[in-house]
Amino acid sequence: MKLIITRHGETDYNVKGLLQGQKQSKLTENGIKQAKALAERLKDEKIDVIYTSMMNRSIDTANIVNEYHKFKIIKTELLNERAYGDFEGKYGDKDYDIPNFKERDKKLRFTPKNGESVVKLKKRVKKFLKILPKDKTILIVGHSGTNKMILTVLLKTPLKEWTKLKQDPTCINIISKKGRKAELKLTNDTNHLEKAGIKKIKDVGTVY
């Protein structure tokens, strides 16, 4: 199995510095350019199936890539970004009404009100990975949090280290998986953006 894991393009929430979570948000003009550069990079890649979350930003990015492949895209809630509940749509630390949110969130079972814990996210991602077809090349168009968790689960890294991973808009990660062994071939690669002269903003729309 070969997994090509990418993140959606830049969104209006990213630009504004809002925490997205499972709120819907739109790709910016720059985000659409990023997705088109990603599509150009992947146009000759042999892909058997495409999975996305139920979030518009993921679906729209996948649709742009799919213009070269013409697959029926499989949408699943299992790939949705982590739910941050009442913190979604807020501006960084100054809007968080729980003191020391980041410190509390490092406790992997901490659950934001109406949201989900890191432990619950891991269980959801593991459930997603179990439904993937074997011996296929799979494109996953996900989110910063879900992508980091996929990498964490497959590479069997300590869960407490998951936030140290970085996922830029439309970055590419490639993992080769045989049986229980997974090998990381590429991570957070955005050469397609640099080559196209497309800017990357500082992504402040996530907690970490």
What are the structural domain ranges in the chain? 2-196
Please state, in angstroms and as integers, the Cα–Cα distance from residue 56 to each residue in 7, 67, 76, 84, 182, following that order: 12, 17, 12, 17, 29
Dump the DSSP string for 128-158: HHHTSPTT-EEEEEE-HHHHHHHHHHHHT--
pLDDT above 70 (res 152): yes
Query: How many whole angstroms separate alpha carbon 86 and alpha carbon 23?
Result: 11
Q: Is 8 known to be catalytic? A: yes
- Tell whether the model's pLDDT for residue 205 goes beyond 50: no
Could you read off the pLDDT of 15-74 as tens digits, one per residue? 888 888 999 999 999 999 999 999 999 999 999 999 999 999 999 999 999 999 999 999
State how far the Cα of 49 lies from the Cα of 168, in Å rounded to an integer.
23
Catalytic, out of 10, 81, 88, 116: 81
Point out the catalytic residue in the list 8, 69, 143, 192: 8
Interval 161-173 mean pLDDT: 93
Residue of 8 and 164 predicted with greater confidence: 8
Give pLDDT, residue 171. 97
Residues linked to residue 168 through DSSP beta bridges, in sequence order: none
* pLDDT at site 16: 85
Task: Specify whether domain 2-196 bears CATH 3.40.50.1240.
Answer: yes
Return the pLDDT at 64: 98
Does residue 39 sit in helix, strand or coil? helix
pLDDT score, position 18: 84
Strand partners, 7: 142
Residue 207 has pLDDT above 90, yes or no: no
Distances (CA, A) of 113 to 79, 105, 141, 187: 20, 12, 27, 32
Strand duo 172-178 + 2-7: pairing: antiparallel
For the ranges 26-35, 85-94, 171-180, 184-193, which has the lowest average pLDDT?
85-94
